[in-house]
A and B are shown apart, each in its own frame.
Chain A
């Protein structure tokens, strides 16, 4: 009898350790994913958008990108997005974007969804805020931005 209880106790211990290991493993995976997406966000905006690195911008944006904007409609042309960046960068004022907050969830084996809020600045002065949804696709070792929804654009009240 004692032996049976010992065996049972062993199994229970073993099982709970297994379960805990699984949860920890999932959490580590989620942290890794979050870091990867935040790194991509930074590459896309802090480097490509804010510092006008068109080559990097081109690399991150998907060939079949879809950009749903709440003021200027749906754009499905990667070429237009690249043109927009070039026009922004040719201007005399410096338009930059700052990430305020975002949450990241995985989308199966496909990639990840990032929901967030950001602020746009002209010459370092905040002028407007907006919310966004980014659908990131994992392609081999790289991440590309596949779908963008940009909404609830608001001016910053002076």
Chain B
């Protein structure tokens, strides 16, 4: 725990200094804020392009090299393992099987992470759903019926490294197989 500095802040707040009260107020970003929009554009690259079209290079570019991906069903993976699983698993049958991630509207929350006043990262939380479709005999992927897969909550820790946003830590949990955005947590 980082205690020394907050401790002095708590003290200062007890005295009631306005300045330090202000220092406390790093709350949720509004959807029209610069940071919110930046994170959403990265989210879109990662999922709308990377995940939904199996453009693995998006993952390679957007992940930090020391990525940690924590999943409630499968445990932990690092960047090489995650990329291998994508290539062989979800993207292993391009043309006959397709997965789609759908970000549930109005569920995304973005929180800034500061280091003594300097923005160094952001935390993104939300609910997303996964759909899949496979081609039947003599059917094209475009005509295949899409089926619901699962709903899950996620938390992503993005870090600003040399001016570039990279995804460093992913927590994906509370996977439900019922088509219902009301996941149990929250």
Contacts and interface: CB of A to CB of B under 8 A. Distances in A.
Interface size bracket, B side:
35 or more
B76 A151 contact: no
Interface residues of A, number: 47
A73 B120 contact: yes
B3 A107 contact: no
Interface string A74-93: 11000011011101100101
Contact of A128 (B2, B24, B155): B24
A41 to B, nearest CB: 13
A13 interface: no
Contact of A155 (B13, B112, B123, B185): B13
Contacts of B116: 71-73
Contacts of A147: 68, 169
A122 B111 contact: no
A155 B21 contact: yes
B7 A107 contact: no
Interface string B157-186: 101000000000101011000000000111
Nearest to A75: B2
A95 B7 contact: yes
A110 interface: yes
A151 B75 contact: no
A32 to B, nearest CB: 16
B123 A151 contact: yes
Contacts of A91: 7
Nearest to B186: A103
Contacts of B171: 107, 113, 133, 135
Interface string B4-46: 1111011101101000010111111000000000000000000
7 contacts: A69-B2, A107-B75, A107-B171, A109-B75, A113-B171, A128-B13, A149-B157
Given A108-B72, A110-B76, A158-B16, 19 more contacts: A69-B2, A70-B113, A70-B114, A71-B9, A72-B5, A81-B1, A84-B2, A84-B3, A87-B7, A93-B7, A93-B10, A95-B7, A107-B71, A108-B70, A122-B10, A133-B171, A149-B169, A151-B123, A154-B27
Interface of B: 1-7, 9-11, 13-14, 16, 21, 23-28, 68, 70-76, 111-116, 118, 120-121, 123, 155, 157, 159, 169, 171, 173-174, 184-186
